[in-house]
Structure 1
Amino acid sequence: MNHATLQQLSPQPGENILEIGFGGGYLLRQLLQSHPHSLVSGLDVSADMVELASKRLRPYLINGSLHLKQGCIEQLPYRNANFDKICTVNTLYFWSDPAKALAECHRTLRKNGILVLCFNDKTELAKWPGHRFGFQLYDKVEIGLLLEKHGFKTIKIESFHDPKQGKFHCLSARREKVFN
């Protein structure tokens, strides 16, 4: 899923990129190693994950190419039009208010900025007993409509099947209007 997200992001030199819900920092590391001239930020709701990623990615924090914060997607601690690209993998299920989360992503993206959401299909997660513990399940059509409703355009959907991860989707969407 991280690889598919990285492909959808298609990072370019000098871009300011945010990953929301970075966990152990695998995708952050991939972004930093493959695009050393980009500024990468990470936001995670878990203080433990911020601490873990800070240890794993310490050289990038020291050289200033990485910034990590604890926080939630419904209240992004960043200024308007701050990022060229935002991505999140497997966090959608936990958002307490998807409308507010997408509004915050829209607010913090620059004009023509890209949001990439990667998540398991609801049919896959419904097979897993853990989904009953606070997961909201979605399919690609629901998320596409939600993105449109909250001001995103040029929505592209790619679906994948991985033997370990099952069926998952990566949706990319563009912020075309300037924040008001």
Structure 2
Amino acid sequence: MENDNLKILAQNLANPQGEKGIEIGEMMNATNIGMTLESIKTLLIEDEEHVLEIGHGNAAHVKSILNKAQNVKYIGIDISETMNNEAKRLNEKFKNQAEFVLYEGIKLPFEDKAFDKIFTVNTVYFWKEPVDYLNEIYRVLKDNGTFVLTFGQRDFMEKLPFTQFDFILYNTDEMEETVSKSHFKRMKISEKEEQVKSKTGDETITRNYTVLTIKK
């Protein structure tokens, strides 16, 4: 891919827009589904719990969350109006259990201690003030809640040509150190790898990623 196309891809990975954004959303769901399902499994969702996903993309995976337990309430939040609309369209039949909120990407528009479980997959690269943002997540998580943070490791991500454009990359130790600067007190680290098709669409690659299970 030429640099201009890579830059457009990077911009749409951060904030999908319009018809191109819808395509990118479908591609992201397909390439990230392994990480997403691993994150959902790690949450250990129970009956009646309120679950928040930060950066839901097209949210074609929401049924996997709602099927984990009885009477689960899901809220997805995203900065992309395109993804907000797509998520609503794809999850119309779940509208009694699933809600999608558009926001500006800094302050979470929820009351303190609103959620039992919170997770996010492949969004940390775009957090402008990661410690402040982690403290926002801490604020809206219940005292006995769980936050799962999943991201591609630096060694893998820096080989991808589009991450040169406005991605902030972390290895596991760097992310652990960042979390330790926030209000969160405990975390468990799990490192994984999987075979995925690259986002530039031309090869199968081995992705190394980290799942952090974080508690107050």
The residue that corresponds to 2:141 in the other structure is 109
The residue number in structure 2 matching 1:166 is 207
Give the TM-score normalised by the residue count of structure 2: 0.77
Normalised TM-score (structure 1): 0.92
Q: Which moved more, 1:33-42 or 1:43-52?
A: 33-42
- Aligned partner (choices 156, 175, 182) of residue 150 of structure 1: 182
Give distance in 2, aligned partners of 1:95 and 1:27.
Answer: 23
Deviates more, 1:82-91 or 1:95-104: 95-104
Cα distance in 2 between the residues matched to 1:171 and 1:94 = 17
Give the counterpart of 1:41 among 75, 82, 93: 75
Displacement of 1:137 after TM fit? Answer: 0.2
CA–CA distance in structure 2, aligned partners of residues 121 and 20 of structure 1 = 19
Cα pair distance change 1:36/1:53, threshold 3 Å: farther
2:159 maps to a residue whose letter is: K
* Contact 2:46–2:70 (CA under 8 A) maintained in structure 1: no
Give the Cα–Cα distance (whole angstroms) in 1 for the partners of residues 66 and 182 of structure 2. 30
* Unaligned stretches of 5+ residues in structure 1: 176-180
**CA deviation map 1:18-75 (0-9, x unaligned):** 00000010332310233341111000110000000100001111x2x11110114421
| CA–CA separation in structure 2 for the residues paired with 1:27 and 1:9 | 15
Aligned counterpart, 1:76:
108
| CA–CA separation in structure 1 for the residues paired with 2:87 and 2:144 | 29
1:97 CA drift (Å): 1.2
Any unmatched runs of 5+ in structure 2?
A: 1-34, 197-205
Q: How far apart, in 1, do the equivalents of 2:57 and 2:76 lie? A: 9
| CA RMSD, 1 decimal | 1.2
Alignment partner, residue 25 of structure 2: none
Identity %: 29
Cα distance in 2 for partners of 1:114, 1:73 equals 21
Q: Which of 48, 56, 61 is matched with 1:22 structurally?
A: 56
Q: Which amino acid aligns with 1:93?
A: Y
Q: Greater CA radius of gyration, 1 or 2?
A: 2
After superposing on structure 2, the runs of 4+ consecutive aligned residues of structure 1 that deviate more than 2 Å are 26-29, 33-36
- SS of 1:166's equivalent in the other structure is strand
How many residue pairs match? The answer is 173
Equivalent residue runs for 1:169-180 within 5 Å: 169-175=210-216
Alignment of 1:59-74 (within 5 A): 59-61=93-95, 63=96, 65-74=97-106
